[in-house]
Amino acid sequence: MSGRRIVPRAFALPRAFSRAFPRAAPALTAAVLATVLAAGCSSPDAARGGEEGTELVRGEPAPSAASPYWVDPNSDAARQVRTWERQGREAEAKMLRRISGRPVADWPAWDDPAPGIRAAAESAARTKKTILLVAYNIPHRDCGLYSAGGAKDADSYRSWIGEFADAIGDARATVILEPDALSHITDGCTPPEHHAERYQLLSEAVDTLKARPNTRVYLDAGNPDWIDEPSKMAQPLRRAGINRADGFSLNVSNFQSNERVKAYADRLSDAVGGSHFVIDTSRNGNGPLSGGREDAWCNPPGRGLGTPPTTDTGDDRLDAYLWIKRPGESDGTCRGGPPAGDWWPEYALGLARRAAS
């Protein structure tokens, strides 16, 4: 990801990014990856939000299982619905309510997370809902590639995560902690000289966030198409403090099916003492794009919304299906998309039309 930040209201959000890309060769440079992406980013059908002939006609959002999470009334999707209604595009507006009417994660600002978190917490408190947040600011983030950036050093990160936690206060919150951070250690992308510091910062972040009375914390553990053997993630999770967290998250910004992710999660949970987990289902309704991995992560055509956010999972260790990735935000300029993190209404509409439920 480019590191671009978008400000939709009080938030400056780092969004769609290359963390979901399961790197086949960690030694690839950014230049090589850019070349690969350029070769696969020319689908005209994708620029219209999907593959021709695959878009299904749907109506109002289907009733979803109970969700305790806050729905942002001023999300990009909600504003798009209002815009289309003013323009008389009632059918599209109705379809997009499949996104605007459901809770998605907020990604607080890299420089000043507190104002946005407080605004969300205050809004959520009025309806006794839980805010869903992603902490994504670890130093040396994304190995200097598309989501390059993060806090400038360890002390800056400690200050940032402290502000993050203080802003949550006593509010009900669920935090997904540092997507990619452990997977990039495991796949060799993060240089060894940064490993010890990263483990220490993640472990401290777990404790800082868990000191808030109503905050749940899930350490990110990648996806089964990235680190294909779950046992490889067990030791990194333990070193990062999984025993003090509420569990781990999987499939953030990726498209792997619920069945595959749950099978992987069960094995990983067994390897770390029975930890609970959550799964990102924001765009996995049709599973991953077939073909090479290099082409599958960035604005893949034909994808659909997955299981709506809910804590009613029917699985004792699966705490929730969540929309952690914000559906409708671009993964990057491939396949006719806008810059990473920008709202792309046509792609959002395609996801909604092909929703799994």
Q: How far apart are CA 322 and CA 307, in angstroms?
A: 8
Number of Cβ atoms within 10 Å of the Cβ of 274: 10
Q: How far apart are CA 103 and CA 45, in angstroms?
A: 28
Q: How far apart are CA 333 and CA 119, in angstroms?
A: 31
By annotation, the residues acting in catalysis are 142, 180, 331
Q: Is 69 helix (H, G, I), strand (E, B) or coil?
A: strand
Give the contacts of 139 (CB within 8 A, at least 6 positions apart).
150, 151, 152, 153, 154, 156, 157, 194, 197, 198, 201
- Residue 355 is encoded by which pair of tokens? 């929703």
Kindly state the helix (H) or strand (E) to which residue 321 belongs, with its residue range: strand 318-322
Give the contacts of 38 (CB within 8 A, at least 6 positions apart).
334
